[in-house]
Structure 1
Amino acid sequence: MAYDPAATRARLLTAAYDEFLRVGMAGARVARIAEAASVNKQAAYHHFGSKEALFDAVMADRLRILADAAPFTPDDLPGYAGALFDALVADPGVQRLNQWKMLETPEASAGEVEAHVSKAAAVAEHYGVEMALATDVMMIVLGMAMSWNTTEAKIRNPHDEDSDQRLLEHRTAVVTAVTAVTKALLGQH
């Protein structure tokens, strides 16, 4: 069978995602990742160079998947917040991976900075506001959309009442809050 570098890379990303979710970057072992991907450890280093670079690649891959699931819409920030909320609920691992990243390497990567700056620039242009205000608005939108996670879900719904209904109520609260922020800070409805 012919060697397929793209398939090897994809298997490594999937195995690394699972490993990093479970134990973070510090606890992850490239040997376990390689074994789960059915490759040798040297293949992981060949494709990514280091465990840290592999973590960054996993993070970038998951953020790309998230961006595809919730396309950015500067003209509809409440809709974007709702779509982002839905995508994060569908894949709670993205938030867990982000929490590991914040614990272990709190500085933003160049890719993360570019993603945030480009969104803020689109908001600034669309609404005709200064970049500083647009950046603040985007941080609020992202914070609101990311306000739900599996740990907090149990706190918000301690008696396991209708969790689908509670999730819908929380999503509605997120969209309502982003609508209010957009109107208050950007002068839009």
Structure 2
Amino acid sequence: MEESQTPVLDVLLHPVRWRIVQRVLGRELTTTDLKRDLPDVPTTTLYRHVAALIDAGYLTVVRERKVRGTTERTLTLDQTKVGRIDEREARAMTPEQHRQAFLMLLTRLAADFDRVIDTGDLYPRLHQLGYSQLALYLDDHDMTTFRQAFADLVAPYLAESPGKDRIVMSVFSLPDS
């Protein structure tokens, strides 16, 4: 497989690794936290996928501490690295691989929404919920400018901070014929 395909296709498009990335997105978690958040994933499988994400540079170990004879790692994720497939990687993907990536994201969004509904957390945090669709009219230059302005807008809010709630925002842009 070509090097340009390796980051997305071999690493992020695996369902377990995608779930790990979604859990770590925007915060620091220990491997123990991940085991709690992903109880259906066997521990050895979880550790193997965490190692693959670390080796690929998506997860970073920010702290290690000894806990009962073992080392517990605290992990973080570079959101700029997983926030968007770059054009070179996107061009290397087949239409089926794009479909797989998009469906994986939609599946996780639906599961996260179900989790909020099922835990009874929806109405107290209703002001933090939003879903909508807009039609924008942009040429290539406008799209580049828009993406940069959006990145600049959200940059101050990407780091976990005491007293602030974690809100996961998903943004899609799809060309319309």
Larger radius of gyration: 1
Task: Give the strand-richer structure, 1 or 2.
Answer: 2
Q: TM-score, normalised by structure 2?
A: 0.32
Which structure has the higher relative contact order (CA within 8 Å, separation 6+)?
2
Q: TM-score, normalised by structure 1?
A: 0.30
